[in-house]
Amino acid sequence: MVQNALGLIEVVGLAAALEAADAAVKAANIQLVGYEMAKGGGMIVVKMTGDVGAIKAAVAAGEVAARSVNKVVSTHVIARPHQELSGMIFSKENSGRATSKTVKDPAENREEASSEPDPEEKAAEESVLSETAVVAEASEKPLLEIPSSQEPIVDESTIDVTDNPTELESPLETTTTTFSEIIQDAETLREETCNLCGDPKCPRKKGEPRSQCIHHRKL
């Protein structure tokens, strides 16, 4: 035997046996070995293993729960069972999930649980590792360098304007002259047009009698 204690709860009926097993597992840190049905009377023995204190608490809780369903025949706790009892506890008639090879000491179960990493800590560690890998990969990439032999690109239009300032000034002078001519022509046209009606077809000019205007009756 690996465990320190063996707990037995003998009840009548499968429902009472399941109720006793459920209450025992919830009450303490124990491991169910299974159940064994007696021949006649519908009696069933629920078997469990674990620490002595845990087994006593589990058997007491299972007994109370089973009494609310059906009759409890007997309960018993063996503190330090001999190894020779393994053949009787893990017999062929035993129905359940545990065997002599699968039953482990609760202390070993606690050590295995503590050795397993926390999912949150594992995820945080993976995140840190991935960020470190990205930074390392970025640091390995060379910076963009411009070869010394490469000549800078210069806009030809800029060179033309800088080298030939006279060509830049000539269009401005032409534009100014043209604009003054347009103003002078407009003033001349205004003097030759009737200042009363403003109609280009009117033969009257500025300063002539009002009667010569073709629109003098309407004015």
pLDDT digits (tens, 9 = 90+) for 4-48: 788 999 999 999 999 999 999 999 899 888 888 887 788 999 999
**What is the model's pTM?**
0.44
Residue 109: the pLDDT is: 54
CA distances from 5 to 50, 57, 69, 82, 165 (A): 6, 12, 26, 10, 108
Which letter does DSSP use for residue 69 in this model? T
Residues with Cβ within 8 Å of residue 51, at least 6 apart in sequence? 3, 4, 5, 29, 30, 106
CB 28 within 8 A of CB 55: yes
- Residue length of the chain: 219
Proportion of the chain above pLDDT 70, given as a percent: 60
| Residue pLDDT, tens place only, 157-170 | 555 555 555 554 55
